[in-house]
Amino acid sequence: MPDADIVYSDVKFKRSKDAGREVTSSPDVSTTYSDVKFSSPSTQQHNQRPAAEPSPQNKQRRGAVTLERVLLLIATLLLAAALAALAAVSLENRGTKINLEKLQRDLTNLTETQKKMNELNKLNVNPPRCPEPTPSRTSGHTCGRDWEHHGGKCYHFTKTNLTWNDSRERCTLLGGHLVMIESQEEQRYLVNKVKELMTTDEDKFWIGLTDAETENTWKWVDGSSLSPHLEFWLHNEPDNWTGQNVEGEDCVRLGEKGATTRNLRYWTDKSCTVPHKSICEKSLEKCTCF
Ligand SMILES: [Ca+2]
Ligand SMILES: [Ca+2]
């Protein structure tokens, strides 16, 4: 496009009347075109006429539209804020509901626990009566189930064959210890009991005596030494025989099927790893009677 300016000049049409008829236009009637020039955009802008000043009505209308937009914007913001607040309240209510359900579960558990405690308290308030006195029980004291009372002590004769160490541990778990024989009368009682319980000649019972720490130095399970006045070895015992175990025999067992009360010497040393039944001993337990 050339830089030549374009100018539109006024175009005039001349009207004429003919025989009473009005002619709108006619090319032959003095039509004049002036020079036409194209102008550059800058020139166009320069030549553009300034926009007409808005009328007061238009100004009022524009003001009203602007106010409406502001009010609409404020209403939108308020609505958004309300929605956000509603969402926050909803989340808070949800959290509260979850906490409430947890509290209800805890309350249920506490109630169950309280019921169990009440039942236990009832049992404690009304303990069972002591049974009638028997050889295994004395007034105000008891040996408990599977224990036999004799001479102020309780004895339990196991039915399971275990090594000496396992037998010792079992007696401890039962609340006692492997028996420690401290009198002829106690030895007599045990000899007679074991004789009744034995099924074979080797069906003997471990007692709490050992020389495992120092050979031929015999000690009871509480660490006390064997009194020379209260030894009840069988003939030719202890012999620390190594035919069965090269380490010899360091534990003591009791029993003889054909035992007589005139001869109380029925102890034999034996390898501690041989399984045998055993005799546990414990003190009397106090019993609250009504
Ligand atoms: Ca020995
Ligand atoms: Ca022996």
Q: Which CATH number fits domain 143-285: 3.10.580.10, 3.30.950.10, 3.40.30.10, 3.10.100.10?
A: 3.10.100.10
- Using CA atoms of 176, 180, 186, 190 in order, give the dihedral in degrees to the nearest 10: 70
E strand residue ranges, the chain: 16-18, 21-23, 137-138, 141-142, 148-150, 153-157, 177-178, 205-210, 219-220, 251-254, 267-270, 277-283, 285-286
Residue 125 CA, ligand 1 centroid: distance in Å: 53
**107-122 confidence digits (pLDDT tens):** 888 777 677 666 655 5
Instruction: Calculate what percentage of the chain has a pLDDT beyond 90.
Output: 49
- Compute φ and ψ for 239, nearest 5 degrees: -120, -5
Asked whether the predicted pLDDT for residue 37 surpasses 70, the reply is no
Amino acid at site 177: H
Buried b or exposed e, range 85-120, using 16+ CB within 10 angstroms: eeeeeeeeeeeeeeeeeeeeeeeeeeeeeeeeeeee
d(CA 261, CA 253): 17
Asked whether the predicted pLDDT for residue 15 surpasses 80, the reply is no
Q: What is residue 262's predicted lDDT score, i.e. its pLDDT?
A: 75
- Mean pLDDT lowest among 82-86, 186-190, 260-264: 260-264
Residue 177 CA, ligand 2 centroid: distance in Å: 23
**244-289 confidence digits (pLDDT tens):** 999 999 999 999 888 787 789 999 999 999 999 999 999 987 765 4
Q: Is the N-terminal amide bond of 56 cis, ω within 30° of 0? A: no
Closest ligand relative to 204 C-alpha: 2
Tell me how far the alpha carbon of residue 20 is from its chain's centroid.
116
Q: Where exactly are the structural domains of the chain?
A: 1-45, 84-127, 143-285
Closest ligand relative to 215 C-alpha: 1
Residue 249 CA, ligand 1 centroid: distance in Å: 4
